[in-house]
Chains A and B, each alone.
Chain A
Amino acid sequence: MKQTVNNRTGGIVRNLALPALLILVWQLWALNLPAGSPAPSPVKVVQTLGELLSKGSLISATVQSLGRVLMGFAMACVLGIALGLLMGTIRALRENLDPIIESFRPIAPMAILPIAILWLGTGTPTALAIVAYASFFPVVVNTVHGVSHVDRKLILAARTMGISQWTILARVVLPGALPSILLGTRLAMGVAWTAIIAAELAVGAKSGGGGSGGIGQMMFVFYAYNIDLNAIVVCMTVVGLVALCIDQIFKVLEKRLIPWRQEA
């Protein structure tokens, strides 16, 4: 009994050892820098976090970015799932759209950004377009995959029992494809969050700090105007935490929505 407790505490110590050591080294390194150096240090990062939180700018920027991600993601989901269901069930549609979707897939969302700026300006619509573009592909590809891997026998059985096409789609095909669709949306949300940061950063960088807002823009302002590296590290941490939360939410959702199938 004592042995296992020892093992467990040993495990926790080992878990925390490297991050703690790195933070310690970082702090010691920062202490030896000449005064007035912009280099970040753990203590200053925590102080900056407190300041930014009390001012409220950090939270409002994060909320703004999250709102954009959700909007763009919702657009991509509606389009991607609808199109994916149609492509999965109608062969001719799949054959004709597949080459086009596959050839757009290797084009990074950021490559579309200059065109999006030309079309939609430097505000929220551009950010939405980039997010929707980025998250569209995982959703549509995984929906098609899910639909085409639904058990044929189930569909045939439903058809034999005289169930209408739409009911089959809603009650047989959709639940059958759900695990794959959810995987697609989870991947999509991950890319969407990355894409919004990139879009806000680049819009900030390339439009002379135009007021697009959001946490990416905030980071760029801290880089280009305030030169506050501590604040940049704070923003990076927030970006990471949000990504982590999004991923966890989707994992819980997957467990709730598809309790009958547990696979990675």
Chain B
Amino acid sequence: MLNTKNIYKPLKAKLTEVIEESPVIKTFVLIPEKEFSFGTGQFIELSVDGIGEAPFTPSSSPLVKDKLEVTVMKTGYVTEYMHDLKPGCHMGIRGPYGRGYPVESFYGKQVLILGGGCGLAPIRSLLYALEHIKDKLEKVILCYGSKTASDCIYKPLFSRLNSIDKFEAHRTVDKAEPGWDGSVGVVTTLLNKINVNLKNSIAVVCGPPVMMKFGTIRLLEMGYSDDQIYLSMEKNMSCGLGKCGHCMMGEFFVCKDGPVFTYNELKNTPDIWK
């Protein structure tokens, strides 16, 4: 039967809470008008009425169907308007779109997650999903880097993760502020502190382009193979439907073929880190 759904029409969602994560990052808690489910790592197009829409990967658990959390860094035209929104208003949601993390293929393995900056938002959703299936995993290790300690989002997440069986979380900052007694240095320095069983591990990288690039290079040096590394790519996904062309990266539509790719799929595509 032919699908009669209008693929461009958003679903309205009520903004019920705005959580300030850092001076430039807020989490928007949304209750969609209809049940809305997504796979971890998939993204949505979130719109401010009459202003514009932008792609975000939800930061909440994919197991929760009636509520959605989206963590947004104030960085452009649409996100500036988003940061001014107050609870009670409505936002628009289209999606979910794309190919998320293939968590079922992680069964029995160690999952190493390398995150940077606002990349922790999609990672948080992945961590919820992995926590749900932790009996089927060997270990989950999170290595996360932020510019400073105050730029780090979801601070309580780290102590909580460290209290979960099979989970461990490490943090580093590029620049130490007074009172910080943890690691200092780029996120890849944390990789020297962890023990992984390379043969039975996969790595997930999510963060700003430069961090993704050097993170991937370091993982390859450690001995990870190209298809053991999962990258969450960020491009100008405008329609989310594999049509508008804005997110083309070589022959891929990042919105439809990704946003999660293995490095093996992308290694011959030029300019992937831009």
Are A and B co-members of a single complex?
A: no
| A interface residues (Cβ-Cβ under 8 A, vs B) | none
| B interface residues (Cβ-Cβ under 8 A, vs A) | none
